[in-house]
Amino acid sequence: MNKNLIVSSADDKYSTLLLELYKSVMKTKDYDFAVLDCGISEDIKDYLSQKNVQIQTPNWEFDVPQYKVRGRDYLKAQFSRFYLDKYFPGYENYIWMDSDTWINCKETFKFYLQGAIEKGFAICPQIDRSSPRLINIRWLWSYPTKINSINFKNISRSVSKSLGKKYAGYYTLNAGCFSYNFKFDGLKNIKKNLALSSKKGRVFGSDQVALALTLFEDKVPFELLPSYCNWICEHHMPKFNIDKNIFVEPYIPNHNIAVIHLAGMDEDRSNLDITHKIETLDKSIIEKSLRFSD
């Protein structure tokens, strides 16, 4: 058994993406892989079982009214991603990856392990020179009539408007990929804040609320990784290094990207044939998919 475990989850809709993530992990040969089953298709489940992938069905870690859930069992992963050592005990370091992510550069990806080992918890803030929009502001002449951000919306709706205002201008921590060491004491703060953020029955976004309150309100130190460790393609397309056959960040030094993340890119997530015009390091333009390919 490897001492490092990568865990993801999916329902039937994202089962193919989950399989692509698994294949990208297996190319590294450095991690075991496990799945929280939120309704993955039977053929994908059978395939993974034959590969000795551990599969567990997650529970609701907190009581959530069924009328709030409305059959969306995949929302369990908003909570269970912080209980990986409970579902899959025996590992030293746990890495959560959403099913719409995949490993692009195994060497850069090792920063997640380094962060977990040195600080206990590693994650990427959703802020970068390639992501210029930090907050939404609606204006009436010279006056802002509405100021909104992910933290403001999620914290206000799930906890309180005052806390939402307090952290409205703070960056978001992207919960789509993070790592932690099994000895990380700050997990108790995250779980406390998960319980707080779920009290009103609002599940979606509770993970980001818990992370924000743990870092900013409780002042639990995280290792904050650069954005090329979790590249949000919706914000800015990467470039491509043809010589190395790898995606890189679009500005110099064009660092290798650890994780390609398709958050917000619904067409790419549902259709393997979607391609984009991607600039290469030698200034040419190629048509290329952002999905993982063998």
What does each of the 294 residues of the chain score in pLDDT, given as a tens digit? Answer: 689 999 999 999 999 999 999 999 999 989 999 999 999 999 999 999 999 999 999 988 887 777 677 768 778 888 999 999 999 999 999 999 999 999 999 999 999 999 999 999 999 999 999 988 888 889 988 888 888 898 999 999 999 999 999 999 999 999 999 999 999 999 999 999 999 998 887 888 899 999 999 999 999 999 999 999 999 999 999 999 999 999 999 999 999 999 999 999 999 999 999 999 999 999 999 999 999 987
- Can you give the pLDDT at residue 67? 63
* Nearest Cα to Cα of residue 278 among 244, 231, 238: 238
- Can you give the pLDDT at residue 268? 96
The first and second tokens of residue 97, run together, are 């990856």
CB 55 within 8 A of CB 35: yes
User: In the chain, what are the domains?
Assistant: 4-128+171-186+218-227 (3.90.550.10), 136-166 (no CATH), 235-288 (no CATH)
CA–CA gap between residue 24 and residue 258 (Å, rounded): 11
- Can you give the pLDDT at residue 202? 80
CB 98 within 8 A of CB 176: yes
CA 279 to chain centre: 25
- Can you give the pLDDT at residue 132? 84
Using CA atoms of 78, 30, 126, 244 in order, give the dihedral in degrees to the nearest 10.
Answer: -140
